[in-house]
């Protein structure tokens, strides 16, 4: 029996709570399906700054390189503040860089039992099935020069938005290859009317599209996409976009799923090793109270089983268990309907575990 080595990086705020429940779910999967998962734990974010004086140590990075996958909770403190000049969130950026992860994958799954928890009308949401591929290593978050300077005697700051052909091509190919396995449509999101880097992105994506005549492609400005995402989300299948635009629109996508707490993500490079995390933040205001929704983290583990370990049946079992728990009426505070009661983090985890590998009712 192969052992799958997973590095758990709970991080800050509600991270330890949701990662704790996710570990229990993975242990249940291992027991029910006969798999061996070996877990290690590591400090990242504010927890690492408190213990080590840095948001992530070289030793943790080395351990991440040697494992099969990393499951992260959340990094950060209230208001996104720095701690002794250190930013907890940069632990995630370093992991993405050191592990050479260049695609962030965020699916949108609509669960019928909580469809009324979204502010979007149910008739708009039903049938939504989309995934966003966000480029992770280029763009304004990483390019140089950046920093503070003086311009004409006045204090100023600058960032650089730069994309190389190779960065655009490789995520373009990944998007089109994914679309071939889905509904055969790619939407490329940019701002080519005002940004030179976006005009280049647009140009290279057009060239990549020509290699996939069986896949439909449309290209849309990011502001127009932000509107259409709410008005007609069923229009989209595979969406591919830049680092910064993807960061913003994937948070907007959470309104479709009713809560940030429902949204999983995966970050992948050339190999099967990936970084998996819910898209929500550390939420320090509710940390330690048992109020956090663990579903985003649990669904991230399902993505891990599918994408890093090639365990499709087991991944589907987790997703089915989440759906069954919601169908049975289990709700955390962020997804409860007005006037209804809710369960805590551990109770939601237990409800999902109880339904793993249980055949769906006819």
Candidate list 116, 251, 327, 347, residue with the active-site label: 251
**Does residue 191 have an active-site annotation?**
yes
Q: How far apart are CA 120 and CA 124, in angstroms?
A: 7
Catalytic residue among 58, 223, 285, 310: 223
With CA atoms as reference, report the closest residue to 302 among 2, 52, 64, 69: 69
Tell me the residue length of the chain. Answer: 362
320: annotated active-site residue: no
CB atoms within 10 A of CB 320: 18
Structure tokens given for 129: 């099935």
Tally helices (H) and strands (E) across the chain: 12, 12
Handedness of CA 298, 300, 303, 305 (dihedral sign): negative
User: Which among 84, 64, 73 has a CA at the least distance from the CA of 16?
Assistant: 73
Q: Look up tokens 């599918």; give the residue.
A: 306
Using CA of residue 131, residue 334, residue 8, residue 111, what is the dihedral sign? negative
Q: Annotated catalytic, 247?
A: yes
SS3 4: strand
Please identify which of the residues 141, 142, 200, 235 carries the catalytic annotation: 141
Give the angle 235-236-238 at the CA atoms, nearest 5°: 160
Task: Characterize the bridge pairing of strands 36-41 and 3-11.
Answer: parallel
CA atoms within 13 A on the CB side of 238: 23
347 catalytic? Reply is: no
User: One of 116, 247, 327, 347 is an active-site residue; which one?
Assistant: 247
Q: What are 259's strand-pairing partners?
A: none
Please tell me the distance from the alpha carbon of residue 120 to that of residue 288, in angstroms, as a whole number: 31
List, as one string, the DSSP characters of 186-238: EEEEE-TTT-HHHHHHHHHHHHHHTT-TTSEEEEEEHHHHHHHHHH-GGG-SE
From the CB of residue 194, how many other CB atoms can be counted at a distance below 10 Å? Answer: 8
Among candidate residues 12, 163, 190, 191, the one labeled active-site is 191
Residues taking part in catalysis? 141, 191, 223, 247, 251
């Amino acid at each position: 029996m192969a052992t799958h080595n997973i590095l758990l990086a709970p991080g800050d705020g509600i991270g330890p709570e949701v990662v704790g429940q996710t570990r229990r779910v993975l242990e249940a999967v291992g027991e029910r399906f006969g798999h061996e998962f070996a877990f290690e734990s590591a400090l990242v974010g504010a927890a690492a700054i408190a213990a080590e004086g840095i948001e992530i140590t070289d030793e943790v990075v080395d351990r991440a390189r040697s494992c099969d996958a990393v499951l992260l909770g959340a990094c950060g403190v209230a208001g996104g503040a720095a701690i002794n000049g250190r930013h907890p969130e940069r632990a995630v950026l370093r992991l993405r860089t050191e592990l050479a992860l260049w695609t962030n994958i965020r699916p949108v799954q609509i669960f019928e039992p909580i469809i009324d928890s979204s502010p979007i009308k149910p008739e708009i949401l039903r049938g939504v099935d989309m995934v966003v591929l966000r480029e992770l290593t280029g763009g304004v978050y990483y390019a140089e020069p950046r920093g503070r300077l003086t311009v004409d005697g006045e204090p100023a700051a600058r960032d650089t938005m730069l994309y190389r052909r190779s960065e655009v091509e490789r995520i373009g190919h990944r998007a089109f290859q994914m679309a071939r396995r889905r509904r055969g449509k790619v939407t490329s999101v940019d701002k080519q009317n005002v940004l030179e880097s976006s005009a280049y992105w647009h140009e290279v994506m057009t060239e990549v599209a020509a290699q996939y005549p069986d896949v439909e492609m449309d290209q849309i400005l990011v502001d127009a996409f932000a509107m259409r995402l709410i008005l007609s989300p069923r229009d989209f299948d595979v969406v591919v976009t830049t680092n910064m635009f993807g960061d913003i629109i994937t948070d907007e996508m959470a309104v479709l799923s009713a809560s940030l707490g429902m949204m999983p993500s995966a970050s992948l490079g050339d190999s099967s090793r990936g970084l998996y995390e819910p898209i929500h933040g550390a939420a320090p205001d509710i940390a330690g109270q048992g109020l956090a929704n663990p579903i985003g983290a649990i669904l991230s583990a399902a993505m891990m089983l599918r994408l890093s370990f090639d365990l499709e049946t087991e991944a589907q079992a987790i997703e089915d268990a989440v759906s069954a728990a919601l169908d049975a009426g289990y709700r955390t505070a962020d997804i409860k309907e007005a006037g209804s009661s809710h369960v805590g983090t551990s109770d939601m985890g237990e409800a999902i575990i109880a339904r793993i590998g249980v055949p769906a009712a006819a």
